[in-house]
């Protein structure tokens, strides 16, 4: 059974999420890919559900899987990262593209969004469109 | 005049000899660097077997990764007495890729994804 979906983890009060979602919805409608939104803010029902990004801010995670640049800065940033963990701080929006390649689930997670730079924004949407198109072709090939 | 001719002649010969020696030395040095680079073994990350990791509680844990069965079994080392030969390197996850917006908005992002997919295909055979 082919499986491909796109979702955004958002906070209702986050202005960037509100700008990103209509654009993504348009792309997904165009390509006929399922798209939905997960509300994960501290005020939502799913406040204790973990998002797909905050675990990457954990010092333990960075020690094991982080890039060498992150590991170099880990000592300086540990107090901030500990504070993130203590107060359950999350960053929004997180865009997740998830599919099953026949053997296991695979995910691409993109953290953050910035609308101020129009050129970069266009490139970002073009990249996403291309990626989704290719992934869709691969997933529905079987 | 004869003396000056002899002086310049000897200087030219000495310069030529010293230059040749320096060139040979540099050539040998560069060759050694190139050979050392060629000899450097490329490490292939292990895909299956026992891996020694640290779990979320901070305790050491052994993970068995199956080769063809896709098993993923955690064996917590609660008492610290397990004697398992395991890789120190954590298991290659490769199923979730994290990017920031700036990375995803760059021109070569799609190429990078393609390259990663090829690497994953190679790894799985």
Nearest one of A132, A26, A93 to B110, comparing CA atoms: A132
For β-strands A105-111 and B60-65, DSSP reports them as: unpaired
Element (H, E) at B125: none
The verdict on B27 and B67 lying in the same domain is no
- Beta-bridge partners for A10: A39
Is this complex scored with an ipTM above 0.90? no
pLDDT in tens, A55-96: 888 888 888 877 788 888 888 989 999 888 888 788 889 999
CB B30 within 8 Å of CB B48:
no
Model confidence at B90, pLDDT cuts 50, 70, 90, reads low
Residue A3 C-alpha, separation from nearest chain B C-alpha, in angstroms: 15
CB A98 within 8 Å of CB A105:
yes
The verdict on B58 and B69 lying in the same domain is yes
Contact pairs from chain A to chain B, CB under 8 Å: 65
Domain tally, chain B: 3
Tokens representing A100 are 């099953």
Chain B residues whose C-beta sits inside 8 Å of any chain A C-beta = 53-54, 56, 58, 70, 90, 93, 95-107, 109-110, 113, 124
- Smallest Cβ distance to B95: which of A56, A106, A123? A106
Q: What is the pLDDT of residue A122?
A: 93
pLDDT in tens, B17-44: 999 999 999 999 988 888 887 776 666 6
Structural domain span for residue B4: 1-40
Mark yes or no for CB contact B97/A109 under 8 Å.
Answer: yes
**What backbone torsions phi and psi does residue B108 show, to the nearest 5 degrees?**
-95, 10
First vs last C-alpha separation in chain B: 79
In the numeric block, the tokens 């997180």 are attached to A94
Mark yes or no for CB contact B99/A110 under 8 Å.
Answer: yes
**For chain A, which domains are there?**
4-51+91-139 (3.40.30.10), 54-89 (no CATH)
Q: Looking at the whole model, is its pTM more than 0.80?
A: no
Beta-sheet strands, E only, within chain A:
4-10, 35-39, 94-100, 105-111
* A56 and B CB contact within 8 Å: yes
The verdict on B47 and B85 lying in the same domain is yes
């Amino acid at each position: 059974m082919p499986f491909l979906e796109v979702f955004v983890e958002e906070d209702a009060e986050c202005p960037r999420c509100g700008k990103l979602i209509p654009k993504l919805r348009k792309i997904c409608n165009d390509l006929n890919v399922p798209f939905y939104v997960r509300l994960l803010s501290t005020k939502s029902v799913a406040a204790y559900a973990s998002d797909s990004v905050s675990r990457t801010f954990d010092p333990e995670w960075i020690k094991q899987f982080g890039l060498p640049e992150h590991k170099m800065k880990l000592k300086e940033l540990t107090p901030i990262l500990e504070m993130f963990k203590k107060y359950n701080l999350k960053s929004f929006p997180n865009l997740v593209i998830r599919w099953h390649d026949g053997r296991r689930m695979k995910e691409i997670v993109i953290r953050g969004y910035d609308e101020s730079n129009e050129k970069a924004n266009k490139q970002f949407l073009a990249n996403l469109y291309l990626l989704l198109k290719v992934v869709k072709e691969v997933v529905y090939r079987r | 005049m004869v003396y000056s001719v002899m002086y310049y002649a000897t200087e030219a010969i000495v310069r030529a000899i010293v230059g040749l020696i320096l060139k040979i030395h540099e050539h040998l040095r560069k060759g050694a660097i190139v050979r050392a680079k060629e000899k450097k073994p490329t490490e292939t990350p292990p895909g299956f077997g026992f891996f020694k990791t640290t779990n979320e509680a901070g305790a050491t844990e052994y993970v068995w990764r199956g080769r063809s069965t896709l098993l993923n079994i955690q064996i917590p080392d609660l008492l610290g007495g397990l004697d398992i030969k395991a890789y120190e390197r954590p298991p290659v996850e490769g199923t979730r890729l994290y990017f920031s917006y700036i990375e995803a908005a760059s021109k070569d992002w799609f190429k990078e994804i393609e390259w990663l997919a090829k690497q994953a295909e190679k790894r799985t055979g």
